[in-house]
Structure 1
Amino acid sequence: MIVGIGTDICDVRRIEASLERHGERFAHKVLSEAELAQWQRRSARWPQRGVRYLATRFSAKEAFSKAIGLGMRMPMTWRSCEIANLSSGAPVIVLHGPLKEWFESRGYRAHISVTDETDYAASFCVVESVDQ
């Protein structure tokens, strides 16, 4: 049974402006350790690719927070929600700490889709209950 749907669109230029204004502090606030390492690798090769990576993660976490109905309130935090990729490239949500415990205690499963184009990143998330 579907318990929530969330979507988000993010202006990549807004993320770029935040990086210019706040430097890496912005990325450290939004990204998990694994995401941060990936962002740094992508940014080193092609800075714009790093900005788009950060924008897709920002957008996906916003969509997930909407789908679970919490927004950015505890136990939902930027760094406790990680957007990883399967070997196929498909994005998956990996949760940590109290958010993981909260989510699993409800018997939820999440599905996430992310995309980006030059100026925009968009995400769509569906959360379902698997204990029905």
Structure 2
Amino acid sequence: MIYGIGTDICDVRRIRASLERHGDRFAEKVLAEGELAAWRARSARWPERGVRYLATRFSAKEAFSKAIGMGMRMPMTWRSCEVAKLPSGQPVIVLHGALKTWFEERGLHCHLSVTDESDYAASFCVVERAAPALPATAPAQA
């Protein structure tokens, strides 16, 4: 059963301006530890890839926060929500701390899609609640 749907589009130029204005502090506020390491590596090789990486993570976290109906308020925080990749390249949400507990207590599961183009990053998120188990029925009498 669908619990919530969230979508977000992010102007990459706005993220670039925030980085120019606030430096690494902006990325450190938005990215979890694993994401921060990937962002630094990408930024060192090709700064524009780093900006787009940060924009996609920003967009994905916004979409996720909308799908769970919380926005950016506790227990949802930028750093407690991480966007990782499966070996196939599929993006996944990895949660930490109180947000992970909150999410698991509700039996929720997330599906995420992330994309970027030169000026925009966009994300779409569907959060599902596992259907309750059907009651066991007695076997038919012969």
> Which consecutive segments of 4 or more residues in structure 1 shift more than 3 A?
none
Return the offset for 1:130: 1.1
Residue 48 of structure 1 corresponds to 48
Return the offset for 1:131: 4.2
Local SS of the residue matching 2:78 = coil
Q: Does structure 1 residue 122 correspond to structure 2 residue 117?
A: no
* Matches of 1:127 and 1:30, distance apart in 2: 21
Local SS of the residue matching 2:70 = coil
Bigger Rg, structure 1 or 2: 2
The number of aligned residues is: 132
* Matches of 2:84 and 2:131, distance apart in 1: 24
* Matches of 1:40 and 1:90, distance apart in 2: 21
Superposed CA deviations along residues 23-68 of structure 1, whole A, max 9, x for unmatched, are 0000000000000000000000000000000000000000000000
Q: Does structure 1 residue 21 correspond to structure 2 residue 16?
A: no
Local SS of the residue matching 1:50 = helix
Residue 137 of structure 2 corresponds to none
Q: Does structure 1 residue 63 correspond to structure 2 residue 63?
A: yes
User: What stretches of structure 1 of length at least 5 have no aligned partner?
Assistant: none
Question: Given residue 23 of structure 2, which amino acid in structure 1 is its aligned partner?
Answer: G
Question: Given residue 100 of structure 1, which amino acid in structure 2 is its aligned partner?
Answer: K
* Matches of 2:14 and 2:31, distance apart in 1: 16
Local SS of the residue matching 1:118 = coil
Q: TM-score, normalised by structure 2?
A: 0.92
RMSD of Structure 2 on Structure 1 (CA): 0.5
Local SS of the residue matching 1:70 = coil
User: What stretches of structure 2 of length at least 5 have no aligned partner?
Assistant: 133-142
Q: Does structure 1 residue 77 correspond to structure 2 residue 77?
A: yes
